[in-house]
Amino acid sequence: MDAFVITGPTTLMGEVSISGAKNVALKAFVASLLTTDTVTLHNIPIIGDVLLMLDVLKHIGVEVEFINNTVTLRSPDSLIHTVSLEVGAKLRTSSLVVGPLLARTGMATIPNPGGCRIGARPIDRHILGLQKMGASITYDSTDGFFHVEAEKLHGADIIFDKNTHTGTETILLAAVLAEGKTTIQNAAEEIEVDDLINLLNMMGAKIQRKEKRVIEIEGVSSLHGTEYKILPDRNEEVTFAIAACLTDGSITVSSSTRSNLIHFYEVFSAVGGGIEEINETTTRYFRKFPISSIAIETRPHPGFMTDWQAPWAVLMTQANGISEIHETVFESRFSYVKELMRMGAVISFFDPKVSNPESFYNFRWHDQPEGYFQAIRIKGKTDLHNAYLAINDLRAGATLVLAAIAAKGVSYITGVQQIDRGYEAIDKRLSKLGANIKRINEGNI
């Protein structure tokens, strides 16, 4: 296992290109199961989760070629309908293969999905939707697998009680080849969902977003191959914007998608972040004013994304005054806090007053374990210092790397494979921006 050794503080300056969006790539691979033609996908990041998801597809029989940042996939006539525990349980998106496998084989057997440990992350909303489309689903607690069957799925009117990003995508991937029309109400608005819709429509699907949160899918009898370039990763762009402001540097980002970051920009500018539009797809980020404190609340798109709150917390350690972060999407996404406190950050947990928590929070509030807090208060400004740090989820990992770059002294970060799951060659790209970061074997610390 790898670890990072980071010596700070450094000011990050220079140019960086944004990779393709992980949270589109993983679903785009699954779309290729819907046809026996070849599907070619460009702008695919070379990251751990992509390699794991390609493994899931290889195990069920898909031919995969991954050269540079292009993946070519071809599903043969016959597919294996079981996702093995060995590969499937490592990745939440493995459950997305259910709809396409039902369309192709009438059966799907999948392990309880894994992914980042940021809460219970059940898939009950996905299951209710698939059942409404005619799937028979049983969970066998003796083997940990969902056993799903359907001769042919049919269209249905699906109403999600709460936002679900991959739940919406599960239904999309199941409905494109189902008999008749499916309507998803309270569908996720995330731009990654729309990119998947674009790809599926290029393959011959008939999907329309009728209103912001209503998607209509007219089932078709077959799909065909295509070539598609997935959109850049907005979460990565936010990470670099925060890095520039945090270190009082200047980072120019190419493959920038400003239109996807409107809510982030409101908050970023409000605390002193600078945004300069260089051209349509290039943006420079920097610190315009001394960083000031703010209270934010995470929400599904178009709100402040839950994926941004961990790096945001590091920025707020450099703000004068008290900042607050209220996490409303996942029930456990503050694993990085105790690590930041090790570096001198002054952070306390609290539970904000919420009048109807069950409907307000995106997770299942009544199932929340004892001792979880949904918000933090950060008192700044604090000079961060070096520490030994452990990473346990992807965004938290990027957060600790930023903190170590801004902190005084030599920090050691273990669990780097969590960052490698979602950020392509983060150490090399940060080095080019001036960071003093070295990758070593964990055993050498």
Q: Which residues bind ligand EPU (CB under 6 A)?
A: 22-23, 26, 92-93, 116, 119-126, 163-167, 190, 306-307, 329-330, 362-364, 394-395, 422
Instruction: For residue 214, give every residue at least 6 positions away whose Cβ sits within 8 Å of its Cβ, in sequence order, or none.
Output: 183, 184, 185, 187
Which position among 60, 89, 116, 329 bears the catalytic label? Answer: 116
Q: Supply 122's token pair.
A: 């059940």
Instruction: Report, in Å, the least distance between residue 386 CB and ligand EPU.
Output: 26
Q: Which is nearer to ligand EPU, 256 or 298 (CB)?
A: 298
Q: Do 193 and 172 meet the contact criterion of CB atoms below 8 Å apart?
A: yes
CA distance readout (Å), 242 to 20, 54, 309, 346:
19, 31, 11, 19
Distance, in Å, from the CA atom of 285 to the CA atom of 52, rounded to the nearest integer, reads 32
Distance, in Å, from the CA atom of 291 to the CA atom of 389, rounded to the nearest integer, reads 25
Q: Supply 54's token pair.
A: 């390609």
Instruction: Report, in Å, the least distance between residue 78 CB and ligand EPU.
Output: 28
Q: Which is nearer to ligand EPU, 318 or 362 (CB)?
A: 362
Distance, in Å, from the CA atom of 132 to the CA atom of 379, rounded to the nearest integer, reads 48
Instruction: Report, in Å, the least distance between residue 219 CB and ligand EPU.
Output: 23
Residues in the chain: 445
Which alpha helices (DSSP H) does 106-260 contain, by range?
A: 124-132, 165-175, 191-202, 234-246
Q: Which is nearer to ligand EPU, 212 or 224 (CB)?
A: 212
Q: Which is nearer to ligand EPU, 187 or 319 (CB)?
A: 187
Instruction: Report, in Å, the least distance between residue 412 CB and ligand EPU.
Output: 23
DSSP-derived 3-state class of residue 6: strand
Q: Which is nearer to ligand EPU, 121 or 209 (CB)?
A: 121
Instruction: Report, in Å, the least distance between residue 395 CB and ligand EPU.
Output: 5
Q: Do 201 and 127 meet the contact criterion of CB atoms below 8 Å apart?
A: no
Instruction: Report, in Å, the least distance between residue 83 CB and ligand EPU.
Output: 15
Q: What are phi and psi of 15, to 5 degrees?
A: -120, 145
Q: What is the DSSP secondary structure assignment for residue 366, as one 8-state letter?
A: G
Residue type, 157: D
Distance, in Å, from the CA atom of 246 to the CA atom of 273, rounded to the nearest integer, reads 9
Distance, in Å, from the CA atom of 212 to the CA atom of 127, rounded to the nearest integer, reads 23
Q: Which is nearer to ligand EPU, 250 or 332 (CB)?
A: 332
Instruction: Report, in Å, the least distance between residue 13 CB and ligand EPU.
Output: 27
Q: Do 1 and 438 meet the contact criterion of CB atoms below 8 Å apart?
A: no
Q: Which is nearer to ligand EPU, 156 or 329 (CB)?
A: 329
Residue type, 391: I
Instruction: Report, in Å, the least distance between residue 170 CB and ligand EPU.
Output: 9
Distance, in Å, from the CA atom of 445 to the CA atom of 66, rounded to the nearest integer, reads 33
Does the annotation count 245 as an active-site position?
Answer: no
Distance, in Å, from the CA atom of 94 to the CA atom of 114, rounded to the nearest integer, reads 8
Nearest to residue 309, comparing CAs of 290, 295, 292?
295
Q: Do 396 and 376 meet the contact criterion of CB atoms below 8 Å apart?
A: no
Q: Which is nearer to ligand EPU, 71 or 407 (CB)?
A: 71
Task: Identify the burial level of 145 via C-beta atoms within 10 angstroms of its C-beta, where 0-12 means exposed, 13-18 middle and 19 or more buried.
Answer: buried
Give the residue numbers annotated as catalytic, written as ranges. Answer: 116
